[in-house]
Amino acid sequence: MALLESSNLTMRFGGLTAVDDFNLRLLPGELVGLIGPNGAGKTTVFNMLTGRIRPSSGSILFHTDQQVNIIGLKPNRVNRLGIARTFQNIQLLPELSVLENVMMAWHGRLKSPFWAPIFGLPSYRREEEAMIEGSLELLDRVDLLDLVDTEAGNLAYGQQRRLEIVRALATRPSLLLLDEPAAGMNPNETNDLMRLILEIKQDFSLTILLIEHDMKFVMGLCERLIVLDHGVTIAEGLPEEIRRNEQVITAYLGERRRADH
Amino acid sequence: MKDAMQYRQARQRWSTKNRRRNRILTLAAVLCTCGLLFFANRFADEYQIRILNMVAIYITLAVSYNLINGITGQFSLEPNAFVALGAYSSALLTMTPMEKGMNFIIDPCAPWLAQICVPFLPAVIFGGLMAAFFALLMGFPVFRVRGDYLAIVTLGFGEVIRVVANNLQTVTNGPLGLKGIAPYTDLWWTWGLAFVTLFVIIRLVNSSYGRALKAIRENELAAESMGINSFRHKLLAFSMAAFFEGMAGAMLAHLITTISPMLFTFFLTFNLLIIIVLGGLGSLTGSVIAAIAFTWGSELLRAVEEPTDIFGWFTIPGIPGMRMVIFAVILIAAMLFWREGIMGRKEFSWGWLFGLVPGGKQKKSV
Ligand SMILES: Nc1ncnc2c1ncn2[C@@H]1O[C@H](COP(=O)(O)OP(=O)(O)OP(=O)(O)O)[C@@H](O)[C@H]1O
Ligand SMILES: [Mg+2]
């Protein structure tokens, strides 16, 4: 029984087929990497899995035993089902504090109706306290505790990436999608990030699908890799197999050659 | 826990439990205002009391308008429509059958309406509910579609309300309007409503719901991806704003006692837009300050519409409507050079006030 299964997922933008017949089967507890050259369609896959865009065709089932269909659900509904994501180009709330950025991710689960805080009902106050406590604990994990009052927009790049990860965690997902979490990080930060990902995967019993260009990072971290090129899945398998795969090498070399020109 | 000390400090700062001092201070401030109102009621002349009433009504309107425009970031142009709805529906409810008979001279009042007569408070609340109902009706389709339709739809709605008020002779008495509405509104009513509005909206904005509204303003993509239903929250903010604007309209109707469709043109919305931009979009404190300054200022500016005598040499004739020109210039200047307004997005807090006093303790407070 799979946690997530997509079949024949296709996304066309006008004449461009950004993702073509994408099949994905994620088992609970897996850590899978989605790689491929620029423009391969990786982010588009994430956008379809999270309800951001509606696929041209194909199906996505979450919890295959319960047959939860994701197609057509709005992003907030998908998130409430247990799929959280981070973004390739960071999407924080720059003018709100670090703590508020995490607490905001709690809101979708809030039980109190809007009049509860207005009348100061104890049930709401308990929820708010739990929210603060939980958010601080999460921030402590990623060493942002001393920055809780800082505006998120003023954080360093690596800190913003970590904040996005804990914000996604605050929605209590079972599946976490990370879009280039190590982009723009130095080798030290990248190492810390690898440790963090393994840690949270363990502690929150997560299944993780991640996109990353840093090969060392991907090969060191992922149990299984899927390679996209021009929207087509060209290879799938263990990191060592992918490393030796001719087609993959050509796809990446092709890109490098294109970049050289 | 890696950093027990830091954790405890942050926990302490953000806890909801240590807000008691602030609550007492706020209560004291409200009581002081009430004391001042008491004196005003006793000793101020009619003109001054009218300005004080208008200040309170404008505070109510500006704070509610800012909830949807500034806090939630959904640009709308609706207040005149909701004020009109609140004013008309409450006035029609409080008028006695006899008063209605005297008003509706062209066409008689619709029979289902003619016999209705209720006390002031239920009429005010009904005025607010009417506005909120229409806000829901409008918000439902508008917030479903993406894009900036809200401004256009609300602008159009304001005109529709005016046209309907002009033509629905048997209900609104058409262009003649309603005269002799009972002057129930006094300082206690207007300021009472202003305080209730402030209380409700501040509590909402400082809660998890307020964070969700701000999240939608700052980054709707992120908000939705983190599980926030932006559609429902926009509807909430919009209809709550409409509710208070409708009640402010009811206050207005029973203050000036004569209403007609002419009264609820776009100028009202325009004035409020100036107030919330000058105060700072997204700052409730700024809206309060700007509402007071604007109401007062526009009274002072009456001078420019009157003939001015310069040293007895020559006289500048008064130009009616000159105030509006000045307001427009102020709005354009603020939009161009002073986008932050008075407060930006900052809010007043007692902690900030104590921070100003040398030796005062700085303490985070909401
Ligand atoms: N909303 C959209 N409308 C039109 N075209 C799009 C849209 N989103 C993506 N595309 C196109 O689809 C293709 C795949 O884009 P995508 O962002 O998924 O690539 P990617 O694999 O994430 O690349 P990168 O590594 O650069 O992030 C690109 O050619 C892109 O221009
Ligand atoms: Mg991408």
Cα-based angle B142, B146, B150 (whole degrees, multiple of 5): 40
The ipTM of this complex is 0.92
What residue segments make up the domains of chain A, in order of their start?
4-260
Sheet bearing A57-62, strands edge to edge: A16-26, A4-13, A57-62, A68-69
| Residue A42 alpha carbon, nearest atom of ligand 1 | 21
Enumerate long-range contacts of A12-19, CB under 8 Å, 24 or more apart: A12/A56, A17/A231, A18/A44, A18/A231, A19/A44, A19/A45, A19/A48, A19/A55, A19/A228, A19/A231
The pLDDT confidence band at residue B360, using thresholds 50, 70 and 90, is very low
- The pLDDT tens digits for B106-130 are 888 888 888 888 999 999 999 999 9
Hey, what are B126's tokens? Answer: 């009904």
Contacts of A140 in chain B (CB under 8 A): 1-3, 6-7
**Residue of A10, A11, A13 to test ligand 1 pocket, by largest number of atoms within 8 Å of CB:** A13
The rounded distance, in Å, linking the Cα atoms of A116 and A213 is 46
Q: What per-residue confidence (pLDDT) applies to B310?
A: 67
Which tens digits make up the pLDDT trace of B177-216? 999 899 999 999 999 999 999 999 999 999 999 999 999 9
Atom of ligand 1 at shortest distance to CA of A36? 21
Structural class in CATH, domain A4-260: alpha beta
| b/e burial code for range B149-186 (CB count within 10 A of at least 16 → b) | ebeebbbebbeebbeebbeebbbbbbeebbeebeebbb
Q: Span A67-95, mean pLDDT?
A: 94
Confidence (pLDDT) at B357 = 62
- pLDDT tens for B11-21 read 777 766 657 77
Distance CA A208, CA B287 (A): 46
Closest CA to A192 of A200, B89, B9: A200
User: What's the pLDDT score for residue B352?
Assistant: 74
Rounded Cα distance, B162 and B156, in Å: 10
User: Residue B76: phi, psi to the nearest 5?
Assistant: -135, 160
C-alpha of A180 from chain center: 9
Nearest-angstrom CA–CA distance, B317 and B321? 13
Residues in chain B with CB shorter than 8 Å from the CB of A110 are 208
A76 and B224 within 8 Å at the Cβ level: the answer is yes
- Tokens, residue B42: 């006793």
Does residue A252 have its Cβ closer than 6 Å to ligand 1? Answer: no
Phi, psi of A26 (to 5 degrees): -110, 125
Residue A236 — φ and ψ, nearest 5°? -155, 135
Provide the whole-model pTM: 0.90
Domain range B44-356, CATH class: mainly alpha
pLDDT in tens, B320-349: 777 778 878 887 887 788 778 888 888 887
Is the shortest distance between the CB of A131 and ligand 1 below 6 Å?
Answer: no
If contacts are CB pairs under 8 Å, which of residues 80-99 in chain A contact chain B? 80, 84-85, 87, 91-96, 99
Tokens representing B252 are 């207005």
